Structure 1
């Protein structure tokens, strides 16, 4: 049996159709790339079709310009019975200079499902390095915070 793939990097060139009225790549395009990378990572880890259950903490740190080479790196940092918490980092650079800079980061939770849409088990990920352990603990803390935020958000739902 082959070991599940924990991390993947997708690369895109920022194209003119990705640009907003301010001349920078719009957040929606970046969020699409994030979702694609999260899916590829989750599918590679679980060996199953996966759906997005949550995307949060999206922080846009720097703009992306048309023509930039964009790298979206996704990495499993926590697994549940059917869910995978995926850390995403987006970096961009001019392809001629390759001077990379972080532009965006967030957490996405993907859930593995079968052909009927029912949740299915995923392999457990166990952190090994100190960095892995720190990210794993952070993901658990964020999970607790999301429960509180979800309760607070009830005031907006019907």
Structure 2
């Protein structure tokens, strides 16, 4: 599979579901945890479709709940593989809700799931590469690669973090420093 490349649309997945009262939280809006569960399902489907292997969720980045979803709205989730590594894929997910009475559509959520392809023994499996066909696909790929590089940089990783080198960065935030007698000047 290592020499195979796929167009992004070959792995795209779309699902729609009517939001029921049983999906609502105490505030009467659709529970964010329910939406996250749907997002995890579509991320799996998209990654498995791309890799042709079982996939696990390795991480979830940038979950932004932009607008609440109401009972009775039709929620549509769209997933695309935005980036591939050796055994991993970053799946971008967009969540929209449609008022089925008015036809009004709102963007409610976007997120990025890192999925890893596994064989039957739990070993990582090489995934197909991507064929980028559009400016949007190139932007999404490079944005994902950039986000991944920043994570790998480890600037604030717990094992190599040197607090003294970063104290000055706290000046721009609404914090009081009460750490070992240090003060923000």
TM-score (ref. length: structure 1): 0.90
Deviation at 1:151, TM superposition (A): 5.7
Tell me, in whole angstroms, the C-alpha distance in 1 between the residues paired with 2:51 and 2:65.
29
Alignment equivalent of 2:100, drawn from 95, 104, 114: 95
Query: What pairs with 1:55-94 in structure 2 (closer than 5 Å)?
Result: 55-94=60-99
1:18-59 deviation per Cα after TM superposition (whole angstroms, max 9, x unaligned): 111111011101100110110110111111111000111010
Root-mean-square deviation over aligned CA pairs? 1.8
- Secondary structure at 2:131's aligned position in 1? coil
Tell me, in whole angstroms, the C-alpha distance in 2 between the residues paired with 1:112 and 1:78.
13
- Matched residue, 2:20: 15
Query: What pairs with 1:3-152 in structure 2 (closer than 5 Å)?
Result: 5-148=10-153, 152=156
Tell me, in whole angstroms, the C-alpha distance in 2 between the residues paired with 1:74 and 1:23.
27
1:60-107 deviation per Cα after TM superposition (whole angstroms, max 9, x unaligned): 000000111000100011101111111110000122332211000011
- Secondary structure at 1:125's aligned position in 2? strand
Following TM superposition, where does structure 1 have runs of at least 4 consecutive aligned residues deviating by more than 4 angstroms?
Answer: none
Deviation at 1:8, TM superposition (A): 0.8
- Secondary structure at 2:91's aligned position in 1? strand
TM-score (ref. length: structure 2): 0.77
> Tell me, which stretches of 5 or more residues in structure 2 are unaligned?
160-185
> Tell me, which stretches of 5 or more residues in structure 1 are unaligned?
none
Tell me, in whole angstroms, the C-alpha distance in 1 between the residues paired with 2:155 and 2:60.
17
Tell me, in whole angstroms, the C-alpha distance in 2 between the residues paired with 1:134 and 1:36.
25
Rg (Cα) greater in structure: 2
Alignment equivalent of 1:154, drawn from 151, 155, 158: 158
